[in-house]
Chains A and B, each alone.
Chain A
Amino acid sequence: MPDSRPEHKAGIHGWGAYIPRYRLPLKLIASTWGWAEDQYKGLNVVQKAIAGPDEDSTTMGYEAALNAIKRAGIDPAEIGAVFFGTESKPYAVKPSATIIAEALGITPITMATDLEFACRAASEAMRTSIGLVSSGMLKYTLVIGSDTAQAQPGDVLEFTAASGAAAFIIGPSEGAAAVFEGSYTYVTDTPDFWRRSLQPYPRHGEGFTGEPAYFHHIISSVRGLLEELGLKPSDFDYAIFHQPNGKFPVRVGLRLGFSMEQIEPGLVTPEIGNTYNASALLGLARVLDKAKPGERILVAPFGSGAGSDAYSIVVTDRVEEKKGRAPTVEEYIGRGVEVDYGFYLRYRGKIKLMPR
């Protein structure tokens, strides 16, 4: 019996990544703030990606979106919605989505909005897009997750808060590189991580970010999806989870019954840190860079506050023609140049100059 879920009518036509050039090794953060090696080694992150001084979530999201459009091979004017998921908006009031839409030639006949739900705003945009596309209301949407993650200097968050972006063109299942099979969302009011208005850095509930937040929500969304689709972990070739560090995604995956072979290909945080809205989605982009037709992917982003979406995605034979049209996640990871802590402070504007 053909599946009547609306998800089947929507797919990913193009995917794109962006990771900035600069890399700060965690050992330099540790030596600056007097942390012992065994205090941060467990994070399983070696270095984090740092945006340059002329970059922000808008410019990074633009490049990821450009790559996604190249892979989709569509006229940007055909895109009917631009969704920009971030928790590091350059403006508190003024959309980044319009800047990106203008620069990419998508304006003026389009929806455009910025979304906020900690690290999963872009993921919710993906589920929204499935609805818009499968209903026939829009042909294509552009989903962007991009963050220049902030962290209070010296806080444990500083070891992982990184910069990066991922973008996807969602459109009809015909011609897509990968088709959605099902989706599931699980949210509750769980205050594990937050940033108040006008505050430069977020705060978090330390260990509270783990069990009641990250683990409970991801496990609930993934189990809900598997039950609804009648699938089990061994039915998937890849399993990708939100990656606040290199430890949590492995632990949650193993606990759900996935193997390291399924988890490893989508792990990006150990090499570039936590890119927040781009974290799980860069993992998805990295898997699509390598995936073969017929393979099945599970992706489960998470956002503090808290919620998780789980998606089942099946790769089609159209994936091959799209792979070489834009730089891969691997190429962006490979262009890293190591910088020191002073460089990081200056480049991220953490040194305040006195106005003259």
Chain B
Amino acid sequence: MITRHWRRRHNLYKLVGSRCRSCGRVFYPYSQRCIYCGSREVEQARLEGDARLVSYSIVYSVSDEAKYEAPVILGMVDIGGVKVIAELTDVSPGEVEAGMSLEPVLRRVTVNGESGLIYYAVKFRPRLGGSGSGGD
């Protein structure tokens, strides 16, 4: 877990995905092999642009570690045409809505008990000062 997270820290902290030099597609998370055409000609690409919630799932049955923040809302987020699966934060089940404008934030994603490591990664929250669905 330590080395896996450490190797991927740029991707997890900064929304760095992959761009395939063969087929030109961009995807997230980063992988050395293109998920579309299988090419290994892949470079790192930072995801830019407006983020919107495409779809979401509210998870009420969570592990003990996640009980402090339950329910967990998992979102499929569109950033400039690239789909990202990530947790949503600073939003309640009554507020979440497909189409809402989001922005990436850095949050804790996993905490290994009271003495283990704290893992940080990007989550998404409703854009500050932004609207619900429909526009910025």
Contact = CB atoms under 8 A, between A and B. Distances in A.
Given A327-B128, A349-B68, A102 B9 contact: yes
A90 B117 CA distance: 10
B13 interface: yes
Interface in A321-356: 327, 331-332, 335, 346-347, 349, 351, 353, 355-356
Contacts of A52: 69, 89-90, 107
A74 interface: no
B118 interface: yes
Interface string B48-64: 00000000000000001
Interface in A84-99: 90-91, 99
Contact of A347 (B68, B87, B108, B120): B68
B39 to A, nearest CB: 27
Interface residues of B, number: 21
Contact of A331 (B9, B64, B128): B128
Interface in B93-113: 105-109
B120 A99 contact: yes
Nearest to B89: A54
A353 B66 CA distance: 11
Interface stretch (A2-10, A57-65, A167-175, A248-256): A57-65
Given A54-B109, A327-B128, A331-B129, A346 B68 contact: yes
B40 interface: no
Contact of B107 (A55, A335, A353): A55
Contact of B64 (A59, A105, A356): A356
B129 A59 contact: no
Contacts of A91: 118
Nearest to A103: B13
Nearest to B69: A53
Chain A binding site: helix, strand, loop or mixed by DSSP?
loop
B21 interface: no
Interface in A80-128: 90-91, 99, 102-103, 105
A167 to B, nearest CB: 14
Contacts of B108: 53-56, 59
Nearest to B110: A54
Interface in A28-63: 52-56, 58-59, 62-63
A21 interface: yes
Interface residues of A, number: 27
B118 A90 contact: yes
Contact of B106 (A63, A90, A327, A332): A63
B55 to A, nearest CB: 21
Given A59-B108, A63-B105, A331-B128, A54 B9 contact: no
B68 A59 contact: no
B4 to A, nearest CB: 16
B13 A102 contact: yes
A327 B64 contact: no
B14 A103 contact: yes
A100 to B, nearest CB: 9
A150 B89 CA distance: 22
B14 A353 contact: no
Contacts of A102: 9-10, 13
A156 to B, nearest CB: 26
Nearest to A327: B128
A322 B54 CA distance: 33
A331 B129 CA distance: 7
Contacts of A53: 68-69, 108
A347 B89 CA distance: 13
B90 A58 contact: no
A331 B103 CA distance: 15
18 contacts: A21-B90, A52-B107, A53-B68, A54-B69, A54-B109, A56-B118, A59-B120, A99-B120, A102-B10, A103-B13, A103-B106, A103-B120, A331-B128, A331-B129, A335-B128, A346-B68, A349-B68, A351-B68
Given A53-B68, A356-B64, 8 more contacts: A53-B108, A54-B108, A59-B107, A62-B106, A103-B13, A103-B14, A103-B106, A331-B128
Interface of B: 9-10, 13-14, 64, 67-69, 87, 89-90, 105-109, 118, 120, 123, 128-129
User: Nearest 6 A-B pairs (CB), nearest first?
Assistant: A103-B13, A53-B69, A54-B107, A53-B68, A54-B108, A62-B106
